[in-house]
Amino acid sequence: MGAVLSFLMKTKAGRALAAALLLCALATVAYHHIRQGAFNEAEHDALRGTLKAEQQRKQDDAYLQGLEDYRLCLEYFGDSGLRNVAECEQLRGVYEN
C-alpha cells in the first residue's frame, strides 16, 4: 500500500492517475445526486396528482351527498342513456310529507 501511495505522490503519471480517479468519483457522485433529484421530483409530481384527485373526489362526494334522490338519479343515469329518465320520476316526492 505504501508503494502505491509513493508512486501516486512522486510521479506525474501517478498524480494524473489519482486526478482521473478523483474526477471519476466526483462524476459518479454528481450523477447519483442528479438522478436522485429527478426521482424526487417525479415522486412529488405523482403525489401532487394524487392529492388533486383526492380533493376532487371529496368535492364530488360532497356535491352528490347534497342531492335528493331524484336529482341523484338524473345525475347518474340522465346523460348516460342506461336508464329511462322517466323512471327517475318515481323518486320525486318520496321524502315529502
Q: For position 18, what pLDDT does the model report?
A: 84
Contacts of 69 (CB under 8 A, 6+ apart): 91, 94, 95
- The answer to whether 85 and 74 have CB atoms below 8 angstroms apart is yes
Q: For residue range 20-78, what is the model confidence (pLDDT) as tens digits?
A: 999 999 999 999 999 999 999 999 999 999 999 999 999 888 888 888 888 888 777 76
Give CA–CA dist 41/62, Å, rounded: 32
Tell me what pLDDT residue 56 has: 93
pLDDT of residue 84: 66
